[in-house]
Structure 1
Amino acid sequence: MTSNGSQRNELEDFEAYLEPDFDAKSFANSLLISTNGHDNNLLDLQTPLKKLKYDLVELDKRMKSISSTNYESLTLNFTQIEQYRTILQDRINPRIDTINKPFEKIKKEVIEPYEDAVRLNNALKNVHQTLELLRATSFFIFLIQQLEELQGGVPIGRGDDVVRASRLYTQLMSLYQSVTSINGGAKSDHGNNVLSIKLIRDYRATAVTRRQSLVQECSMTINNETCRSSSLNLKNLKLYHTLQALYILDPQEFYQVLDKSTIQRQVTTSSNQLSKALQSPRNFMAILTEVQENNTTYFSKLDEVLNKWSLPQDSTNKSDESLLSPVLSYYRTESLMVLFWQKLAQQLKRNIVATMARGGPIAKNLRVYSQGLKTSVEEKFTEEVIKSGILDALSMIEHK
């Protein structure tokens, strides 16, 4: 058999055909260009074809020469190849088949069923995620539909619609919060988060705005309906439903609005009356009596309606719990009347201190009437908490 050097000599004129990235189209193109050039208007195909035919003839000659020269080696190689093929077919392949059979059985009985189970499990996961998304979406859609039926406005004055709207907004915002992370985006562990649905995602801003408008409208209504004692009656369902609605929407806002609309307003009004009365100590007790009578009436009615009206029912309160109970707990007081007089006494005390600091005839008259005022208060008020607060304020007249 010839050496590798001899083989290379036999093929040295055909290197282009032996390139690993040989491409017939590219080779033909380069052959045409080398024969015709770039500027030739006539295309010569005969010369390239002759060259290719010459190469074919030359290759055939060289193949015959190699075969003739290395006849014995080629014959020996072909014989060995045939022997190896026989060994492979008769001895090795059967053993490989024997080895492969258990693996085929494992593949058929274990691997393929496992792969099928994995595919089914993935399909079930997708179905489950889709169902979860649809279920969560249905909750949102139901609440949104209910709110839209209320025309999206603030239904103050339409019976218990305001309470219904408040519950719906609270439930809807709770749902939004459950699918929202701390930074305001969708929770990363919710692959099919409902916020990916445009309707639900876009409605959030609308719900927030309308809810805030409802809170403001409730606050205004409570402020208007509590400014007169005549409005504090059990027939005033507008006030009742509005109080319930605001408590549902924002309990903290409920307490603040109720405090500002009732206790603080009454304290401010009464404090102004008593402040003017300090300028005429002779009339102080008459004005104080008027303040007592007016506020006794006001807070008696307020206590009555709050005690008769129940809290909106939910899982955190009893079904028969009144609105008055959480209000008293919030202020940590036994009654709103006592709380009013405590705050009024504090304000009166500050007014007296300021008046005495200014001096003049008013301060002098107060010192003259000081003891008489204290005696009158002792006789007028029977409740110790209220009486002690007013007496403490009057003691500032003689304080040095």
Structure 2
Amino acid sequence: MADTEPSYIDYEAFLDPSFSATSFANTLVLATNNPSDTPLDLSTPLSRVLFDVQEIDTHIDTLTTKSALPLLQYTQDHAESSGRILGEVEGQVASLTESYKTLEKEVIERYDVAEQVRLTAERLCQTVKIGRAVARCLMLGRQLEVQIAELGGPSTGAAKREDHRAMVRSSNTLLLIRQILTASNAGEEGEELDRINVITTLKNDLAVPAERNILSRAQQIVREFSMSSLLASNASTGQTSSGTSTYAQTEDTKSRITSALLTLYLLSPTSASTTAEKFQPTLLINVLQDYLQTALKSSLAALTRALGTLPTLDRTLLEISARCQNIVALEALLESTKPPVHPLLEASASVDGPASEEKVTSANFLQPLLKCLDTSSLPSYFWRSLASNLSPRVQEILHRGGVSARTLRSNKDRVKDAVRECVNRGSQLPAGPLSRGKMGMAGNWEREAAVMVGSIIGVMGR
């Protein structure tokens, strides 16, 4: 436009996006005045601005007049295009609205109904699972009551009809109840089962007291375990007992202790991460350790008193031999007893493969006890532990002096022979079913006998 119609107006400056009216006015005033003059002449720059505005207005009017028809045509074309576009869009919007209504009717409403049905079915399924778990728990609870009644005991007045095998059956039932209650906390069948009152009552009033009663009964059987006939054969009344009665009593004792051991094994604590290889029957090991410690403490106290009063030594050594024979019999039973299938460990054992299953089935109750005591055999542990605690007691007797010390020194050969005989006699299996087929497995106990003799005679030579 400037090329066809030359003009002194700088249109480029006015059309610049950074144009500032204040800066333009200041530049115009400074161009038409001397900055040092006190009175400023504003009429000249004002006239210049008014002239420029008038010139621009004239130029716009001229351009508008010349381009009126093209502008009107352009505006008309845009208006017609906009109308056509609006018509097409309104038709598409109407079609889309109709499709949405159809979709809402055919899909969304049906989905809402289906979602309600799904939620109802899910709740019904959860209710069925909980009901099935509750019914199973109640059935196991009833089964546990029957098994506890079969167990009997002194409180029932029918001790002869006591079924000690019911302890093992009750233990398996308790483990099944424990498995269901544990699974309910892991999101499996019967989730949130512990929130049901009847299950809480079953757990607190039946399962927990029954487990406590069974554990107490099993621990008592282990504490009272005795199969040695040394004291009975030495008594005057023991000669009249028949062999059939002794065999029957021995078999009953063996069966009762086996049931007690299996019960303690099954009821030992487990966790969710416990596997068959890592499982440690802590209750079983603790009870067996207590049995050994009781035998050791009783033998140590009795032998200490007998060494101070030698006339009672023979009787005391016979009692110690009987205790050790009980330990030998217990070792034979532990070695011949295989761990039962544990309901809480059965799944982990099957996943580990054939090698681990062979390892589990080849184990026995003796191995974990020997590993815990760090010994190769229970009789050896008994004699060595007794000898290690006996030396200080003998030294005390000798330091006190008097008749006891002099008698002990003068009869040391007799004491030596009696102790050696005690070790050899006590390290043998008791006569009965356990010793059948093991006559050649007596073992060599010379080293243990030497340790026992050294704990007494060795102190005298110091």
TM-score normalised by the chain length of structure 1: 0.60
Tell me what 1:118 maps to. 115
Tell me if 1:384 matches 2:426: no
2:387 corresponds in structure 1 to 345
Distance 2:396 2:455 in 1: 15
- Tell me, what secondary structure is at the counterpart of 1:310? coil
Q: CA deviation at 1:220?
A: 2.0
Read off the aligned partner of 1:129 and give its amino acid letter. Answer: Q
Letter of the 2:335 counterpart: N
Partner SS state of residue 308, structure 2: coil
Of 312-321 and 344-353, deviating more is 312-321
Instruction: Please list, as runs of the form range in 1=range in 2, the aligned pairs for 1:1-400 lying within 5 A after superposition.
Output: 97-150=94-147, 154-155=151-152, 157-179=162-184, 193-206=192-205, 207-224=207-224, 226-230=225-229, 233-236=250-253, 237-250=255-268, 251-261=281-291, 263-279=292-308, 290=318, 293-295=321-323, 297-314=325-342, 315=346, 318-319=360-361, 321-363=363-405, 382-384=445-447, 387-388=450-451, 391-392=454-455, 394-397=457-460
Is the alpha carbon distance of 1:205 and 1:329 closer, same or farther for their aligned partners in structure 2, counting shifts above 3 Å?
A: same
Q: For residues 109 and 365 of structure 1, what CA distance do their matches in structure 2 show? A: 110
Does the CA contact (< 8 Å) of 1:222 and 1:242 recur in 2? yes
Distance 1:235 1:320 in 2: 26
**C-alpha distance in 2 between matches for 1:197 and 1:282:** 68
- Give the unaligned 5+ runs of structure 2: 1-89, 154-161, 230-245, 269-280, 350-358, 425-444
Matches of 2:136 and 2:263 in 1, distance apart? 21
**For 2:217 and 2:382, how far apart are their aligned partners in 1?**
26
Q: Which moved more, 1:340-349 or 1:364-373?
A: 364-373
Work out the CA distance in 1 between the residues paired with 2:221 and 2:286. Answer: 14
Segment drifting more, 333-342 vs 167-176: 167-176
Give how far 1:190 is off. Answer: 9.6
The 3-state SS of whatever aligns with 1:334 is coil
Partner of 1:22: none
Q: Separation in 2 of the partners of 1:255 and 1:325? A: 10
Contact 1:195 1:201 in 2 (8 A): yes
Q: Aligned-pair RMSD on alpha carbons? A: 4.2
Report the CA distance shift for 1:289/1:254 in structure 2 as closer, same or farther (over 3 A). Answer: same
Residue by residue over 1:190-214, the C-alpha shift from the partner in whole angstroms, topping out at 9 and shown as x without a partner, is 9952223322121111211121112
Whole-angstrom distance in 2 between the partners of 1:363 and 1:140:
67
* Distance in structure 2 (CA, Å) of the matches to 1:143 and 1:102: 59
The superposition leaves residues 35-90 of structure 1 with CA deviations (integer Å, 9 ceiling, x where unpaired) of xxxxxxxxxxxxxxxxxxxxxxxxxxxxxxxxxxxxxxxxxxxxxxxxxxxxxxxx
Alpha-carbon offset, residue 228 of structure 1: 4.7
Give the whole-Å Cα distance in 2 for the aligned partners of 1:333 and 1:179.
42
Tell me if structure 2 keeps the 8 A contact 1:154–1:217.
no
8 A Cα contact 1:367 1:398, kept in partner: no
Whole-angstrom distance in 2 between the partners of 1:386 and 1:110: 92
> 1:342 touches 1:386 (CA, 8 Å); kept in 2?
no
Sort the Cα spacing of 1:193 and 1:296 in 2 relative to 1 into closer, same or farther, 3 A: closer
Percent of aligned positions that are identical: 20
Give distance in 2, aligned partners of 1:146 and 1:191: 20
- The answer (yes or no) to whether the contact 2:221–2:257 under 8 Å persists in 1 is yes
Task: Give, in whole Å, the separation in 2 of the partners of 1:195 and 1:152.
Answer: 26
Structure 1 unaligned segments of length 5 or more: list them.
1-92, 181-186
For the structure 1 residues 110 and 321, does the alpha-carbon distance in structure 2 shift closer, same or farther, using more than 3 Å as the test?
same
Cα pair distance change 1:229/1:373, threshold 3 Å: closer
Q: Aligned equivalents of 1:305 and 1:273: distance in 2? A: 27
How far does residue 336 in structure 1 lie from its aligned partner after superposition? Answer: 1.1
Letter in 2 for 1:275: T
Q: What code does the residue aligned with 2:217 have?
A: E
The verdict on how the C-alpha distance between 1:287 and 1:307 changes in structure 2, with shifts beyond 3 A counting, is same
Which residue of structure 2 aligns with residue 79 of structure 1? none
**Cα distance change on mapping 1:377 and 1:210 into 2, 3 Å:** closer
Q: Deviations over 1:281-339 (max 9, x none)?
A: 7997x678646754553333333333334333333684464433333333232111011
How far, CA to CA, are the matches of 2:119 and 2:372 in structure 1?
53
